[in-house]
């Protein structure tokens, strides 16, 4: 081999090392595939129930040879950009002051890295910013004003995230959650207890989690949310916390969650689900075990029903290295989206601890 060829090979190798900071670089992915994939890989993408389009898009990218992280982020971007999903991204329901604050985390299995942002305002794709935190900083989590400045430094444009529809929901909540303040809903001379109609509102805790296993046998995941509707400004749930709202181990599997973030933060369930799978449990069994763990840890009476069961719900979604998948929730009636390579995604019912009574 001549000197020119040797120099070319050297530059190619050096470029591959440099590209190691970019999750989707071809050189890195090829190396990761040799390390990760053993035999034929059965690709799979799983997401929360609002991820039907996300799982289909992610599988399309995976079947085209794409990296799982590229795939799942592209999938959830569909939901982040959708103003009709009021729990994620653009159009998400705001905090109690009417400001939309977004959280997200990503993990890239083959490199073992992760990144996250919390309380990010004015940027509708927090999953993309979380990825940049992973790729372009020595940190894992950026929050608030610092996260916004970082996003702007990388070319993200600020925009208003509060849609007219979300603003209307927020105003109705603001006007109706108390008779003790000066915010009033429309009323007439005969109206009594004006402003007291809190039962009308379901405080949205929706999120989207999406995890994928690609053709190289590598696993990645993302969770993104606008958080609890009408929250105290600055509140952060489990979604941007690695080990709680998302966790990936390329040798085992991935797990993520939606639902009451506070309960999951106290339990760090996603990392526990991965460990349960490492110990031999199936994805569904591992998710169900995480639900049991939360139920056992919940002792505050205000969070329990008359039978001592959690009055809230938490949902988990998981895949393992073999391409098996499953989901579970504390209460029945929850679903998840899954795509194993078919043209359309399927909606599957989660396993559950407790069955809801009709009408409850």
Task: Please identify which of the residues 55, 204, 205, 207 carries the catalytic annotation.
Answer: 207
180 domain-assigned: yes
Residues 6+ apart with CB under 8 A from 88: 50, 76, 79, 80, 82, 206, 207, 208, 224, 225, 226
Taking the C-alpha atoms of residue 262 and residue 241, their distance in angstroms, rounded to an integer, is 11
Is 181 contained in some domain? yes
Q: How do residues 236-259 score in pLDDT, each as one tens digit?
A: 999 999 999 999 999 999 999 999
Q: State which residues form the domain around 176.
A: 172-185+193-203
The answer to the question of residue 359 being in a domain is: no
Assigned domain for 21 exists: no
Answer yes or no: do 178 and 309 share one domain. Answer: no
Q: What is the pLDDT of residue 175?
A: 85
- Asked, for residue 17, whether it belongs to a domain, the answer is no
**Mean of the per-residue pLDDT values for the chain?**
87
What pLDDT score was predicted for residue 201?
Answer: 47
Task: Indicate whether 99 and 181 sit together in one domain.
Answer: no
Could you tell me if 148 and 277 lie in one domain?
yes
Answer yes or no: do 95 and 210 share one domain: yes
What's the predicted TM-score (pTM) here?
0.85
* Domain harbouring 230, CATH code: 3.60.20.30
pLDDT of 187: 62
Same domain, 141 and 260: yes
Specify if 33 maps to a domain.
no
Per the structure, the count of domains in the chain is: 2
Residue 45 belongs to a domain? yes
pLDDT given at position 185: 67
pLDDT for residue 206: 72
Residues 148 and 229 in one domain: yes
* Segments of the chain with pLDDT less than 50: 1-38, 195, 198-201
Q: What is the pLDDT of residue 248?
A: 98
- The reply to whether 72 and 198 lie within a common domain is no
Q: Is 207 an active-site residue?
A: yes
CA 38 to chain CA centroid, Å, is 28
Collect all residues with Cβ–Cβ distance below 8 Å to 307 and sequence separation of at least 6.
Answer: none
Q: Starting at the earlier edge strand, list the strands of the sheet with 246-249.
A: 246-249, 253-259, 314-320, 325-331, 351-354
Domain co-membership, 199 together with 314? no
- In this prediction, residue 27 carries a pLDDT of 37
Element at 59 (helix H, strand E)? helix 52-63
What does the pLDDT read at residue 330? 98
179 and 250 co-located in one domain: no
Distance of CA 173 to the CA centre of its chain: 25
341: left (phi over 0), alpha (psi -120 to 50) or beta: left
Looking at the chain, which runs of residues are DSSP E strands?
Answer: 44-48, 102-108, 113-120, 141-143, 208-213, 219-225, 246-249, 253-259, 314-320, 325-331, 335-339, 346-349, 351-354
For residues 296 and 343, membership in a common domain is answered with yes
- Give residue 193's pLDDT: 58
Cα distances (Å, whole numbers) of residue 227 to 13, 93, 104, 205, 242: 43, 8, 10, 6, 16
Assess whether 176 and 143 both reside in one domain: no
Pair 177, 251 in one domain: no
Looking at the domain assignment, is residue 301 inside a domain? yes
């Amino acid at each position: 081999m001549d000197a020119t060829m040797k120099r070319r090979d050297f530059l190619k190798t050096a470029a591959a090392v440099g590209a190691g900071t970019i999750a989707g670089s071809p050189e890195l992915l090829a190396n990761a595939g040799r390390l990760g994939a053993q035999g034929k890989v059965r690709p799979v993408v799983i997401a929360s129930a609002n991820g039907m389009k996300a799982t289909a898009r992610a599988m399309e990218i995976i079947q085209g040879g794409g990296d799982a992280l590229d795939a799942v982020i592209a999938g959830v971007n569909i939901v982040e950009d959708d103003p009709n999903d009021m729990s994620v991204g653009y159009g998400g329901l705001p905090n109690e002051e009417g400001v939309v604050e977004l959280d997200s985390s990503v993990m890239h299995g083959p490199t073992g890295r992760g990144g996250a942002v919390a309380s990010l305002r004015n940027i509708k794709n927090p999953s993309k910013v979380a990825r940049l935190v992973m790729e372009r900083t020595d940190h894992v989590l950026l929050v608030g004003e610092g996260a916004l400045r970082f996003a702007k430094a990388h070319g993200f444009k600020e925009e208003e995230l509060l849609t007219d529809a979300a603003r209307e929901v927020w105003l109705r909540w603001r006007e109706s959650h108390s008779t003790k303040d000066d915010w009033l809903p429309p009323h007439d001379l005969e109206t009594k207890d004006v402003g007291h109609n809190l039962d009308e509102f379901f405080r949205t805790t929706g999120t989207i989690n999406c995890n994928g296993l690609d053709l190289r046998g590598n696993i990645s995941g993302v969770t993104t949310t606008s958080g609890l509707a009408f929250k105290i400004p600055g509140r952060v749930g489990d979604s941007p916390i690695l080990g709680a709202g998302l966790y990936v181990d390329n040798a085992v599997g991935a797990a993520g969650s939606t639902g009451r973030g506070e309960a999951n933060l106290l339990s760090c369930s996603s990392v526990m689900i991965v460990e349960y799978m490492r110990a031999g449990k199936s994805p569904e069994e591992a998710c169900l075990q995480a639900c049991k763990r939360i139920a056992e840890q919940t002792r505050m009476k205000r969070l329990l029903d008359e039978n001592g069961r959690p009055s809230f719900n938490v949902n988990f979604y998981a895949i393992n290295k073999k391409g098996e998948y499953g989901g579970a929730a504390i209460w029945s009636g929850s679903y998840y989206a899954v795509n194993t390579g078919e043209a359309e995604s399927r909606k599957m019912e989660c396993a559950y601890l407790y069955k809801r009574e009709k009408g409850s």
